[in-house]
Chain A
Amino acid sequence: MSLINTVKKIFSNNDPVKTEGDSNGDESTPPSIESSEKPADNFPELPQERMTINLSVIKESNTSSPQSDEILIKAEPSVANDQCVFMVNRTLMEGYSWYFSSFESAAGSSLAEALFSLEDVESALILESTLTLTRKDKTIVDWKPLAKEVGAVVRKALEGGGPLISEKIIAEMPSEESVREGIQKSIDTEVNPGVAGHGGHITLQSVKGNTVTIQMGGGCQGCSAADLTLKQGIHSSFRKAVPMVGAILDETDHSAGVNPYF
């Protein structure tokens, strides 16, 4: 019997295996394969797992929006290309943030109406001087053509001078206390029971206006799927619980911890 066949037999069933040189037809006395194995203590010890330290990065940011008379807009697509953040050197919304989920939700808000006039815009989140867009066609990875159109639309809306966000939205903005209460209830009754199965938990860090900041802990911290989890699960739970919640920020450092995901 060849060595390959011997190995195949070892892995294919639990029948006793004959080794080379034992092919004498005597099936009643199967030779032991243990005799050819090295004793367990001959194997080298596995190297001890080292603790991975994440160092502080000393780097210069190139994404700031300088003060200028001219309207300056920078676009930064996400790594996954599922959204693009536009940084403007003007305030788009002060004190609050707002999530426009559809063309209908944009009614009365000149900036959002203009954005939804672009065919491929799916949703818009406005927070201070930033605008985060998602697009309908998820197969397109190049944001440049749409981003140029967005830049022109934002510039035109700002130059128009009118209110960028509907006055009705501002007037009906919920109190921080009611936002905090609704989000905390959503975390306690829906989100945390859901992520507990993965060893994770979510805590509400702060509420500013209608902008909430959360932190992910346990199994969520360092999880490569945390961004997806956050967007798909937690966002929809929060928006269902508090329809007027604006930006949902994640303060978790997913690269921190003793053995973060890389």
Chain B
Amino acid sequence: MPKLNSFKVKVETGDQGTAGPVMFSINRHTLPLENVVGDTGAGDVFEGGFEVNSFAHSLTLVGPEKGQWHIKKITVDFDCEGSQPYSVTYGEVTLDETSQANLWQDPPQLVFDV
């Protein structure tokens, strides 16, 4: 499990937006994203991030407290200790007050030619 220095998340909202604020959960601690840009209305693009500087056991995007949030695409840029920065893009999902989306993905395996 690598140490997560920081991450940035870009969320493309689909047909149904949410009022926010956009919260994430790291190791079951729920926090608001920082350095946010954009919006979470229908068709909008929202970006935010967080300086974690800790080991990530779990990282999720928390659903809205009221209503549904239809997300078309989520792109997460990870900066982990001991590996090159990497990006993961996730597909469509609809979140609500009972759900959260897993954002965590281990760094890609080292592959080399021999």
Q: Name A residues whose Cβ lies closer than 8 Å to a Cβ of B.
A: 47-48, 50-59, 62-63, 72-79, 86, 144, 147-148, 150-152, 255, 262
Contact = CB atoms under 8 A, between A and B. Distances in A.
B114 A77 contact: no
B17 to A, nearest CB: 18
A56 B73 CA distance: 10
Contact of A262 (B73, B88, B91, B102): B102
B85 to A, nearest CB: 15
Contacts of B60: 50, 52
Contacts of A75: 111-114
Closest 6 CB pairs of A and B: A151-B114, A55-B90, A262-B58, A56-B91, A50-B100, A58-B89
A115 to B, nearest CB: 13
- Chain B interface main SS type: strand
Nearest to A47: B30
B4 interface: no
A79 B114 contact: no
B106 A79 contact: yes
A86 B58 CA distance: 30
A57 B63 contact: no
Among B59, B106, B110, B111, max chain A CB count under 10 A is at: B111
Interface string B85-114: 000111111010011111011101111111
